[in-house]
Structure 1
């Protein structure tokens, strides 16, 4: 695994040991950032609720996101994220890493707003619609914010209350769905 582009581009990062996480492939990650960026002006914030290795949030900061909050409940993932943030070179303290599940994080982060939120839960445990509703209800997404959902090709996401579906792309086993917050 590697950071593809930006200020940390080319640095190798580590996957989470074991089989409990499923990393976003470089191909999907590159395509995702081409759809939402590909680069940012340094004022936006990014939330990754199921961070795994932290690769997507680290890529976001590498491309100009000001701060990323990375959440994962597994100790192995938490430890891997901490190591990968160090590999990236967190000289500006652009990362906050939380060891907790998504529900706890949503409660803890209430009152904060993010420009980008990335949801990539374990496929067997997806509660994407519920989490999208909670994000909207608790106003965690900025007024023109974007929510990126990574699902398997069996999960069907379409229109959601409070969101505008702006893009959906199929990558074989993986589907990326992008919503924009509707005010």
Structure 2
């Protein structure tokens, strides 16, 4: 696994052993960020961050700030190693240890807004999380924001936000929503 393009392009990223954390494949990230286009100055939220591969790719491609939210200890350790490996400016990242849904509530209470939200929850939780995310996403979306979800094609993460693009890569489904 590596950073695909941008200022950190080519840098290797690590993932924890086992199958609890499922990093987004390089080819999927490459395609997704080609679709998203210019991220210069964007404020990004990487929920269920895992190794941080999606958020780090956003930073590499010009995002001004990325908030990573993850609760799994092994994934957090990999995320921190990956951030150390690419060395972004300290004020460009924030790592939140904890629950993604709780973070959305807290961010809304602080009037935080994001230009891009990356959702890559555990595939097994997609059905349960869709309605909960629907309730909590709207207050943290900046005008013109995009929400990207990654899920298993057999059990896609379904959101009520308007769907503007959907792509399949093997068993992975990427959906792009723009409210």
Unaligned 5+ segments in structure 2 are none
**Counterpart of 2:135?**
133
**Counterpart of 2:31?**
31
Q: Which runs of 4+ in 1 moved over 2 A?
A: 155-159
Note the C-alpha offset of 1:10: 0.6
Q: Give me the whole-angstrom Cα distance separating, in 1, the residues matched to 2:90 and 2:7.
A: 12
Length, aligned pairs only: 175
**Counterpart of 2:66?**
68
| Residues 156 and 173 in structure 2, CA contact (< 8 A), matched pair in contact too | no
Q: Give me the whole-angstrom Cα distance separating, in 2, the residues matched to 1:40 and 1:64.
A: 5
Residues 78-157 of structure 1: pairs in structure 2 closer than 5 A:
78-110=76-108, 111-126=111-126, 127-136=129-138, 139-156=139-156
Per-residue displacement from partner, 1:73-98 (whole Å, max 9, x unpaired)?
11111111111111011235311111
TM-score between both structures, scaled by the size of structure 1 = 0.90
Q: Give me the whole-angstrom Cα distance separating, in 2, the residues matched to 1:177 and 1:153.
A: 10
Q: Give me the whole-angstrom Cα distance separating, in 1, the residues matched to 2:90 and 2:159.
A: 38
* Partner secondary structure for residue 109 of structure 1: helix
Q: Give me the whole-angstrom Cα distance separating, in 1, the residues matched to 2:103 and 2:151.
A: 20
Moved more, 6-15 or 84-93: 84-93
Q: Give me the whole-angstrom Cα distance separating, in 2, the residues matched to 1:68 and 1:132.
A: 21
Note the C-alpha offset of 1:157: 5.6
Q: Give me the whole-angstrom Cα distance separating, in 2, the residues matched to 1:2 and 1:141.
A: 29
Please give the root-mean-square deviation of Cα atoms over the aligned residues, in Å: 1.5
Note the C-alpha offset of 1:147: 0.2
Higher helix share: 2
